[in-house]
């Protein structure tokens, strides 16, 4: 085990990526979830996405949710947008950190947005310019970075090429999504190495799914490689890892629990976070796939 970073930055994605992949919940519950997360000590929250309500009814009330929430000092909030219309809505709502998505795999990108990866990258160049003109930052999320459910392995060199392209177009940050949980420690190592070789200073964030149980092993590997930014979803909101087709976000409290026991600071109050996970479970009305939510932290004695 190499030297571990003393501190990592967790971005809580439950309110957006999580709830977008659950049955719709009431606007008031979304606001309450967001505000509860803001009080956990987490530094970053993906709050909403500005997508077409017909495509994703779960996010149809994004404006109301954000208007009703009470942003906390010291917390950075971001929104995801699919296109310039969404970007304008995010900017109008006051967001200064905006995310856009492209799939590393052509087939996955076509199935999602009916365009090739290259076509989406051209669109993204325009979106980055639009966001920068308005004074916002642009993060590019590269989906299927660790494998594609249609194509299989995705060449890390292809992902690194996408990183080169979007950085040249002005992207402020890059996130790598393990969209269907195909990541393993080997894939993490290969991808981070391939990107770092060409872009040693690019800010990288990793987004793991626990679909095949590897999320924390992947995160540990990334930590050992010096990566310090990770997405996670409270309670594992966003689909059960044990159900077919589920997204299977790694649960924030499982990430925080492991990191804290290893002496890696997250700034997050784990007990408070577990209370929020209990609330998340309540609003989606099903048992969430989080061991730390069920069993409590290892420090909880019987």
* Contact set with a copy of itself (CB under 8 A): 1-2, 147, 149-152, 180-182, 184-187, 189, 210-217, 219-221, 224-225, 241-244, 248, 250-251, 254, 257-258, 261-263, 287, 289-292, 294-295, 297-299, 301-302
Residue 280's contacts (CB-CB under 8 Å, 6 or more residues apart) are 14, 18, 33, 234, 235, 237, 288
Nearest partner of 222 among 177, 194, 188, 269, judged by Cα? 188
Nearest partner of 127 among 105, 103, 104, 99, judged by Cα? 99
The H-or-E segment that residue 177 falls in is strand 173-177
Location of structure tokens 């966003």: 238
Active centre residues (catalytic): 240
Cβ of residue 298: shortest distance to a copy of itself, in angstroms? 4
Nearer to a copy of itself (CB atom), residue 57 or residue 291: 291
Within 10 angstroms of residue 119's Cβ, the number of other Cβ atoms is 15
Nearer to a copy of itself (CB atom), residue 65 or residue 240: 240
What's the chain's length in residues? 302
Cβ of residue 277: shortest distance to a copy of itself, in angstroms? 12
Nearer to a copy of itself (CB atom), residue 130 or residue 234: 234
Nearer to a copy of itself (CB atom), residue 14 or residue 86: 14
Asked whether the beta carbons of 165 and 121 are under 8 A apart, the reply is yes
Cβ of residue 282: shortest distance to a copy of itself, in angstroms? 16
Q: Which one-letter DSSP state was computed for residue 47?
A: E
Asked whether the beta carbons of 251 and 235 are under 8 A apart, the reply is yes
Nearer to a copy of itself (CB atom), residue 77 or residue 176: 176
Cβ of residue 269: shortest distance to a copy of itself, in angstroms? 18
Within 10 angstroms of residue 78's Cβ, the number of other Cβ atoms is 23
Quick one: tokens of 188? 């993490």
CA dist 104 → 42, 113, 116, 172 (Å): 29, 13, 10, 18
Cβ of residue 215: shortest distance to a copy of itself, in angstroms? 7
């Amino acid at each position: 085990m190499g030297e571990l970073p003393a501190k990592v930055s967790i971005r809580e994605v439950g309110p957006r990526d999580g709830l977008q992949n659950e049955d719709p919940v009431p606007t008031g519950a979304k606001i309450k979830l967001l505000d509860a997360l803001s009080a956990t000590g987490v530094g970053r929250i993906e709050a909403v996405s500005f997508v077409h309500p017909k495509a994703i009814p779960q996010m149809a009330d994004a404006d109301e949710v954000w208007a009703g929430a009470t942003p906390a000092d010291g917390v950075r909030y971001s929104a995801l947008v699919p296109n310039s219309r969404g970007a304008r809505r995010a900017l109008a709502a006051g967001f200064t950190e905006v995310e856009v998505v492209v799939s590393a795999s052509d087939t996955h990108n076509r199935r999602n947005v009916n365009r090739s990866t290259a076509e989406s990258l051209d669109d993204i160049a325009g979106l980055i310019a639009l966001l920068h003109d308005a004074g916002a930052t642009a993060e590019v999320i590269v989906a299927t970075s660790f494998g594609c459910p249609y194509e299989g392995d995705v060449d890390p060199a292809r992902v690194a090429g996408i990183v080169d392209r979007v950085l040249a177009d002005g992207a402020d940050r890059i996130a790598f999504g393990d969209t269907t949980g195909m990541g393993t420690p080997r894939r993490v190592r290969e991808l981070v190495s391939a990107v770092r070789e060409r872009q040693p200073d690019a800010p990288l964030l990793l987004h793991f799914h626990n679909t095949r149980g590897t999320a924390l092993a992947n995160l540990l590997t990334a930590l050992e490689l010096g990566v310090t930014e990770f997405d996670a979803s409270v309670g594992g909101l966003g689909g059960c890892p044990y159900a077919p087709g589920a997204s299977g976000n790694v649960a924030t409290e499982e990430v925080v629990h492991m990191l804290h026991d290893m002496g890696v600071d997250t700034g997050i109050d784990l007990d408070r976070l577990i209370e929020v996970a209990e609330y998340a479970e309540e609003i989606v009305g099903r048992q969430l796939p989080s061991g730390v939510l069920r069993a409590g932290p290892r420090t909880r004695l019987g």
